[in-house]
Amino acid sequence: MNDRRLLRGALLARQPQAISALAPGLYKVCSQSSRGSYRVCLDGTNFACDCPDFSDRQRPCKHILGLVQHLALSVGVSLVGAEETLPRKTYTQDWPAYDAAQQAEHPLFDPLLWDLLTTVPDRLKSPGTPGRPPISVRVALFQAIKKVHCMESQRRARGLLLTTSGNGGILGDVPSYNAPSRLFLRPTTTPLLTGLIWLSAYPLRDLENGGTVSVDSTGFCTTCRGAYCTERYAPHRTHEWLKAHLSVGTKTHAILTVRITDEHGADAPLFLPLLQEVRAAGFNPAEAVADKAYLSRENLDGAKDLGLDPFIPFKSNSTPRSGGCRLWKEKYHQFQLKREEFDEHYHARSNSEAVNSSIKRKLGEALLSKDPQARINELLAKLLAYNVGVLIHEIFEHHIDPGVPGVSLGLPSAPSPIPSPGGPISELSALPTSPATPARGSQDSEA
């Protein structure tokens, strides 16, 4: 009675018009995963179904079991109790650790961010050069990321820093409120922020190693017009967007690597560059998942060459023709004939949607900068602020030692302490930041 196929068949039997007779011993049973249907032959003890599950196993599938249950119900017999239904998939959550992490985010955010910025080199003024010394890049980055994190204007954000500066504060002297704007306008800020994003996830590498990396993209609007303004004054105006192409660790929901493009940036060409950067950053996941937009023979073979098992669903017009791809036919048959097994792996992609939603709910979807370069840097600062929040959560969830002086959590040390982010700044700038456009390879289009 606990067999999942029997339970799914019972759901089919109870659905109105899901099963209909075509001829004596021949029935049509609707599919649960699509709009199609399957033909089931049931003649005494002989049975057959044209679905992939029956073709692969040669054992009763949910359509056959559903038909048997449907016929039993027609004479008043139930093979499955009414109280038995498919178990709802749930996920465990350490709520005490979650509560503690949420309450400690603001106290821990500043010291963790400040420690992370120790890898950023400062501009040094040459001896004898007239004028005031330049603002420290580390200080300017700290002020800019704090401004994005608190979602306040530059003046209000500086006011908040003034209340925590001086004795006991991180910043002894808070720069002008214009410092974040000037910093975001510099193209050299982009590689710094891109490197800091993967560096902020580096303490979580032991948790992510051997797991799954999910690749997806999401848009951030560059205008903040409300729905009333759009409907009332400019119903035909559309938002301009920036797309963030993210690789996400599904165990911790940390952003591992990122690429930024405009709203027309294609997804498939960035699949392999993101995975290559994940490997270069020191992460060793075992699987990679992505939606149909990333389906191509080049991406499947490229992921396999990186030591990753890719799970990308096929489109409705896809065929098993390999086209020179070693992995295409194997994955196609796995998708068609072992759909439940495939979906168990592919379900990890929902973590990308959770990350996209979390970033926008917590830090906002709109970018306030007007300059194109500043928008890119503001978005990267938003993603970095999100990653620091994830790190704080994992400190409480998995007792990770952040390695930050002055941060005492009163938690037991991990059996194998994970080192804090560090290393020369050359490692940060080594990662490419401009979206490359490799050959797309052969891709199937949605019919």
What would the pLDDT profile of 162-184 be if each residue is shown by its tens digit? Answer: 887 765 578 888 999 999 999 99
Residues 245-289 pLDDT 10s: 999 999 999 999 999 999 999 999 999 999 999 999 999 999 999
Examine the pLDDT at 1 and tell me if it is beyond 90. Answer: no
Longest distance between any two alpha carbons in the chain, whole Å: 99
Nearest-angstrom CA–CA distance, 61 and 52: 9
pLDDT digits (tens, 9 = 90+) for 371-396: 999 999 999 999 999 999 999 999 99
pLDDT > 60? residue 420: no
pLDDT for 157: 92
Domain boundaries, the chain: 4-74, 183-429
First to last CA, the chain: 39
- Selected from 3.30.70.20, 3.10.20.30, 3.30.420.10, 3.30.70.3150, the CATH number assigned to the domain covering 183-429 reads 3.30.420.10
Instruction: List the Cα angle 74/53/46 in 5-degree steps.
Output: 50
pLDDT at 436: 37
Any residues with CB less than 8 A from the CB of 160 and at least 6 apart, and which?
146, 150, 152
Between residues 55 and 434, the one the model is more confident about: 55
Residue-wise burial string across 320-348, b where 16 or more C-beta atoms lie within 10 A, e elsewhere: eeeeebebbeebbebbbeebeebeebbeb
**pTM, entire model:** 0.76
User: Helical H runs in 93-245?
Assistant: 95-116, 137-150, 154-164, 179-184, 189-201, 205-208, 227-233
